[in-house]
Structure 1
Amino acid sequence: MTSTVLADLPFMDAFATPGEAQWRAAVDKVLKGADFEKKLVGRTADGVRIEPLYEAAAEGGARPLRAEAGRWRVAARIDHPDTAEAARLALAELEGGADSLSLSFAGAPPARGFGLNATSVDALDATLDGVMLDLVRLRLDPAPGGRKHALLLADLVDKRGHAPSSLQIDFGMEPIGVLASSGALAVPLSELGKRITETIGNLKARGFTGPFLTADGRTWHEAGATEAQELGAVLATAVTYLRLLEAQGIPLAEARDAISFTLVADADEFVTVAKLRAARLLWDRVQRACGLEPKPVFIHAETAWRSLTRRDPWVNLLRGTIAAFSAGVGGADSIGVQPFTAALGLPDGFARRIARNTQLILLEEANLWRVADPAAGAGGFEALTQALCEQGWRKFQDLEAESSGDLTGIVGALANGHIQKGLARERDARAKAIATRREPITGTSEFPNLSEAPVAVLAPPPAAAPSKDASGDAIIVEALPSIRLAEPFEALRASADIAEAAGERPKTFLATLGPIAGFTARAGFARNLFEAGGIAAPSGDGFAKTGTTNLDALVAAFRASGAKLACLCGSDEAYVAEAIPAAMALTAAGATVWLAGRPGEQETALREAGVTNFIFAGCDAIAVLQDALAIAISPVSTSKG
């Protein structure tokens, strides 16, 4: 609050203004000796501290503002291979509220194996039949042959008689991103510079104003990049384009104006907001280093592919909403929301409508666009923005220092494997966090739904594309993968589904000990874990009789279940009193016996009684579920007796 506002509230003088010391003292009382850092301080994948409390940010400093305040553009992807269907979907998107179309040609990574098959002006004209090019913004998704697609779109504009200078088109050429995702570039960098300069010259001579090139963060994000790695790669890509164009005689100011950014909006609200704001500040710094007066770059944001799930895909609606909200608050000029079924195949009209309406609600009902840079002044956002500026700049400098032969910067870092190694380390670290469920995926690794109903798509996922024969290409690098975080759990679910289709869903018998109040917590944990792998784990009211477990009833229920794996679930007290005889009885009945919880001092005795594994919070759930599936679907019982 300002002093003027406080002056209007004289009763506030009756309350002492608390400081950080008083707050910390109150927190320490609640923690009761627990470690403050471990309990209340988080860290991003880049190691940036997330404090529980921030002071208001100091006034002044650079502001990461857009070139034009107001509404962002609502972008929708057009990627259907059938021309007539693509045209129908395009009109449906525009009639439903979109005002920007992202054209994904076949071969474009964002098309996911689908994409437009328009190879002529007439075919592209039919694809955009009814679309008034002067009323919408168009952008091309980066793809091999991006120069050809750019000129094809320009020819369509000529055919329709539009004044190119009146249109808003981002031509989306991104040869470095194509190199990273495909592993090959057909020409040396010097020749690449000549070709993109000729293409830009052609387009500018016709009257197009660009941008013509984009630095696309999706390539790096899908390969596992942290926020700082994505920022560093985008900056390094843009600077490489500046150098290529300048070497061909294009003034730096014109080269700068030829470039746009594409960044990923993920489901972490605070970090996504900070990343977009940091991108603008970092680009300002690059421009000043080039001797230019900074101009805001156009930023298109797209919700994260790697966060989408095939299981319980309705949860993707929540992820998309958080990501779109964050992109809007962070200052994106246009936003594309992935339809919630995108990981399952080519989205239908319903999924596309929901994706579009997510943005429209944020614009029309939440009115997010009415405040320029709404995160300004908030201590948390400003601190995260500054931290990502520092980390992103460091990653950018690291890439600039790399080389391989005569290749320097980000291309050299791709050629010598520096980027691939760095991203692989991050993928491994995140995969471990996913496997141990320290980074839970709702609907997949946590709270799975084995009875989920299928959702509709226009076409299932395409088959894997054959590997490219790179012979004759001038630059060859190790291609970056495109991953989704949920894939390891989805593979387990798929194996369980195959077993169910062949006979019966794999199951685990939850051998509950003691009264229901004693076993509910661990039975719930175990059920949640097993179902994340597609393994049914039903439980009832237990087998307690006058406070203790009726082992005869428990063993009879196990035999009747048809399960091969039994998991003991109970309180610590029940384990001390009953786990060993229960394990022995179940083992004698032919069960492979596990226990929910850490074994502690009982481990040796429990193992001697027949317990072969222990499941607990923080265990490697992927490894555990692989073992459980192997037991559950094995044709021969693992019984010892």
Structure 2
Amino acid sequence: MATSLFEEFQPHSKEVWKNQAIKDLKGKDFEQTLIWQAEGDLRIEPFYSPEDLSSLPADLIQSAQKNTAIASWHNREKIIFSTEKETNQLILEAIEWGADSVIIDFEEKNITTINFKQLLHQIKLSEVYVFFKVQNQSLQLLETLASLIPYQMKGGVQDDYLATWMHTGELSKDSTTLLAHSIRKVQNHPQFKTLLVSGEVFHNAGANSVQEIAFTLANALEYIDQLTEAGLSLEEILHKLEFGLAIGTDYFIEIAKIRALRYLWQKVLSEGYAFDKANEFPAMITAYTSSYFDAALTPNTNMLRATTEAMSAIIGGADALVLHAYNSTFEQEEGFGKRIARNISTILKEESYLDKVNDASAGSYYIEHLTFELAQKALILLQKVAALGGSIAAFEQGFTQNAIAETHRHRQEATTSGKRILVGVNKFRFDEKPFVYEAKEEYSSSIPLLSAQRLSEVVESQA
């Protein structure tokens, strides 16, 4: 009778493995040598085992993840509006060459001056997911679309006025009222979102993963409180809500970050709001590759960073993926860069088959443990924000900015000292083109704001 190869090996507990590791270290301290203290006060052990899952709510973590029969994600391309004709052409080209949906970013343009009939020529919003990114103009946009489109739309409006305020200092007094009207206006469009809660503003200012989760959720709770006061029900709000997260270069932590936000969101809804339908509203998450970790020195390395960021987003379970061009932070011409960005998502889908498994990281001892630890650390920080009076109050007191600034400062020090490696910036560098540092425009405000940063600038400015 044939015996299994594994029958020759006796199972060992984690304690046995640890004792063997201590023995092999020959006097070196186990904690100092093999335990990694990651950003956000995360304690990363050298190995994990089934024992590490026994104390975790693994079933709750996994049930909170993307709840669809399709493992795929939207390859979503962001297009900056220029003219109606040119932007329309870029949308059609993006869809033809692999994009499943698009974001039209109007930046600070007045959308009442835009000819939407020309902009959306040959684009049917019942077939193509189109997202419109505006600043405090969601209601005007929806009224314009309603006059042109008689059918149910797919896509949404992205008008995160809290993130805009934290970045620019500008906040309209009627923002909540306009957002409430916008949500009511599209209740009969089930696949059209109107409330974006984005963590990009925190990430790009230098926030670590714990901070990004906590501050993003704090903004979401702020929106819920304001909108329920404006007369909307929790269900009406949740139907129209989506999250945005920027994905950085810490591969496994970024996978766990998406999963931790979903788990913590379910926990907040069910326990904080006593909402018994929380499992019917899993967090919808669009992932954006990080501009914070982009480099202008040896810029082709940005393609490598974008690839690992995209894989983190996909394995973490993002519903949509937005990759910016590798050269978008320092060049006006992004044609080739956009093509590469679009193809990264396509290759990961068509050639790497990452769209074939739902929640690919479920059951991983390391990722499950990291997911729970991230959620626990983020919950503690979220409770601190709540104790200060919520997201707006914490920001007005400088709590949010100071915490993020401290993280960014530590990263800069680690980068300039060489303790933190940025490939192509402070190591393995090839100066393909000269870089000229330009100071960012500063906004005047009575409170500190969250300015977008790039970690490599501290080195590039010395080049």
TM-score (norm 1): 0.66
Residue of 234, 238, 248 corresponding to 1:266? 248
Deviates more, 1:192-201 or 1:250-259: 192-201
Tell me, in whole angstroms, the C-alpha distance in 1 between the residues paired with 2:191 and 2:78.
Answer: 22
Instruction: Return closer, same or farther for 1:152/1:266 CA change in 2, 3 Å cut-off.
Output: same
Instruction: Return closer, same or farther for 1:314/1:454 CA change in 2, 3 Å cut-off.
Output: farther
Tell me, in whole angstroms, the C-alpha distance in 1 between the residues paired with 2:333 and 2:318.
Answer: 24
Tell me, in whole angstroms, the C-alpha distance in 2 between the residues paired with 1:19 and 1:347.
Answer: 56
Q: Quick one: which amino acid aligns to residue 78 of structure 2?
A: R
Question: 2:292 is paired with a residue of what secondary structure?
Answer: coil
Is the CA contact 2:112–2:140 (under 8 Å) kept in the aligned structure 1? no
Partner of 2:151: 163
Is the CA contact 2:169–2:443 (under 8 Å) kept in the aligned structure 1? no
Instruction: Return closer, same or farther for 1:259/1:19 CA change in 2, 3 Å cut-off.
Output: same
Structure 2 residue 120 is matched with structure 1 residue 128: yes
Question: 2:155 is paired with a residue of what secondary structure?
Answer: strand
Instruction: Return closer, same or farther for 1:71/1:347 CA change in 2, 3 Å cut-off.
Output: farther
Partner of 1:37: 31
TM-superposition CA deviations, 1:390-422 (whole Å, max 9, x none)? 0111111111111xxxxx310011111111111
Structure 2 residue 422 is matched with structure 1 residue 441: yes
Tell me, in whole angstroms, the C-alpha distance in 2 between the residues paired with 1:96 and 1:117.
Answer: 30
Unaligned 5+ runs, structure 2: none
Structure 2 residue 235 is matched with structure 1 residue 241: no
Tell me, in whole angstroms, the C-alpha distance in 2 between the residues paired with 1:485 and 1:70.
Answer: 33
Is the CA contact 2:136–2:175 (under 8 Å) kept in the aligned structure 1? no
TM-superposition CA deviations, 1:249-291 (whole Å, max 9, x none)? 2111212222110011111111011110011111101211212
Partner of 2:135: 144
Tell me, in whole angstroms, the C-alpha distance in 2 between the residues paired with 1:238 and 1:12.
Answer: 49
TM-score (norm 2): 0.90
Instruction: Return closer, same or farther for 1:336/1:30 CA change in 2, 3 Å cut-off.
Output: same
Instruction: Return closer, same or farther for 1:25/1:201 CA change in 2, 3 Å cut-off.
Output: closer
Partner of 1:488: 458
Q: Quick one: which amino acid aligns to residue 328 of structure 2?
A: A
Tell me, in whole angstroms, the C-alpha distance in 1 between the residues paired with 2:362 and 2:356.
Answer: 14
Question: 2:186 is paired with a residue of what secondary structure?
Answer: helix
Question: 1:278 is paired with a residue of what secondary structure?
Answer: helix
Matches for 1:595-610 after TM superposition, within 5 Å: none
Partner of 2:303: 317
Tell me, in whole angstroms, the C-alpha distance in 2 between the residues paired with 1:436 and 1:284.
Answer: 41
Partner of 1:88: 89
Instruction: Return closer, same or farther for 1:177/1:86 CA change in 2, 3 Å cut-off.
Output: same
Tell me, in whole angstroms, the C-alpha distance in 2 between the residues paired with 1:257 and 1:414.
Answer: 27
Instruction: Return closer, same or farther for 1:22/1:125 CA change in 2, 3 Å cut-off.
Output: same
Is the CA contact 1:345–1:461 (under 8 Å) kept in the aligned structure 2? no
Residue of 428, 436, 443 corresponding to 2:409? 428
Deviates more, 1:257-266 or 1:29-38: 29-38
TM-superposition CA deviations, 1:166-207 (whole Å, max 9, x none)? x222212211111101112131xxx433232123223337x4
Question: 2:287 is paired with a residue of what secondary structure?
Answer: strand
Q: Quick one: which amino acid aligns to residue 205 of structure 2?
A: A
Q: Quick one: which amino acid aligns to residue 96 of structure 2?
A: E
Unaligned 5+ runs, structure 1: 1-6, 108-115, 403-407, 471-475, 494-641
Matches for 1:105-254 after TM superposition, within 5 Å: 105-107=106-108, 119-122=112-115, 124-141=116-133, 143-147=134-138, 151-152=140-141, 155-156=144-145, 158-159=147-148, 161-164=149-152, 167-187=153-173, 191-204=174-187, 207=189, 210-254=192-236
Deviation at 1:8, TM superposition (A): 8.5
Residue of 280, 293, 303 corresponding to 2:262? 280
Deviation at 1:380, TM superposition (A): 0.4
Partner of 1:10: 4
Question: 1:204 is paired with a residue of what secondary structure?
Answer: coil
Tell me, in whole angstroms, the C-alpha distance in 1 between the residues paired with 2:20 and 2:366.
Answer: 21
TM-superposition CA deviations, 1:512-569 (whole Å, max 9, x none)? xxxxxxxxxxxxxxxxxxxxxxxxxxxxxxxxxxxxxxxxxxxxxxxxxxxxxxxxxx
Q: Quick one: which amino acid aligns to residue 312 of structure 1?
A: T
Question: 1:171 is paired with a residue of what secondary structure?
Answer: strand
Tell me, in whole angstroms, the C-alpha distance in 2 between the residues paired with 1:176 and 1:220.
Answer: 11
Tell me, in whole angstroms, the C-alpha distance in 2 between the residues paired with 1:96 and 1:337.
Answer: 14
Deviation at 1:61, TM superposition (A): 3.5
Is the CA contact 1:278–1:385 (under 8 Å) kept in the aligned structure 2? yes
Q: Quick one: which amino acid aligns to residue 133 of structure 1?
A: L
Structure 2 residue 319 is matched with structure 1 residue 333: yes
Partner of 1:419: 400
Residue of 442, 449, 457 corresponding to 1:479? 449
Is the CA contact 2:190–2:239 (under 8 Å) kept in the aligned structure 1? no
Count of aligned positions: 452
Tell me, in whole angstroms, the C-alpha distance in 2 between the residues paired with 1:272 and 1:101.
Answer: 23
Tell me, in whole angstroms, the C-alpha distance in 1 between the residues paired with 2:227 and 2:448.
Answer: 26
Question: 2:77 is paired with a residue of what secondary structure?
Answer: strand
Deviation at 1:438, TM superposition (A): 1.0
Question: 1:287 is paired with a residue of what secondary structure?
Answer: helix
Tell me, in whole angstroms, the C-alpha distance in 2 between the residues paired with 1:178 and 1:369.
Answer: 33
Matches for 1:202-601 after TM superposition, within 5 Å: 202-204=185-187, 207=189, 210-288=192-270, 289-292=272-275, 293-294=277-278, 295-402=281-388, 408-450=389-431, 452=432, 467=443, 477-493=447-463
Partner of 1:583: none
Is the CA contact 2:142–2:182 (under 8 Å) kept in the aligned structure 1? no
Instruction: Return closer, same or farther for 1:256/1:171 CA change in 2, 3 Å cut-off.
Output: same
Tell me, in whole angstroms, the C-alpha distance in 2 between the residues paired with 1:156 and 1:389.
Answer: 39
Tell me, in whole angstroms, the C-alpha distance in 2 between the residues paired with 1:51 and 1:329.
Answer: 21
Tell me, in whole angstroms, the C-alpha distance in 2 between the residues paired with 1:347 and 1:299.
Answer: 29
Instruction: Return closer, same or farther for 1:331/1:417 CA change in 2, 3 Å cut-off.
Output: same
Matches for 1:70-89 after TM superposition, within 5 Å: 70-89=71-90
Q: Quick one: which amino acid aligns to residue 193 of structure 1?
A: T
Q: Highest CA radius of gyration, 1 or 2?
A: 1
Instruction: Return closer, same or farther for 1:220/1:270 CA change in 2, 3 Å cut-off.
Output: same
TM-superposition CA deviations, 1:14-55 (whole Å, max 9, x none)? 223343344334433543333322332212211111111001
Q: Quick one: which amino acid aligns to residue 230 of structure 2?
A: Q
TM-superposition CA deviations, 1:311-365 (whole Å, max 9, x none)? 1111111111101101111110001112111111335221111101111111111
Instruction: Return closer, same or farther for 1:157/1:67 CA change in 2, 3 Å cut-off.
Output: farther
Tell me, in whole angstroms, the C-alpha distance in 1 between the residues paired with 2:102 and 2:3.
Answer: 50
Instruction: Return closer, same or farther for 1:15/1:202 CA change in 2, 3 Å cut-off.
Output: closer
Deviation at 1:81, TM superposition (A): 2.2
Question: 2:461 is paired with a residue of what secondary structure?
Answer: helix
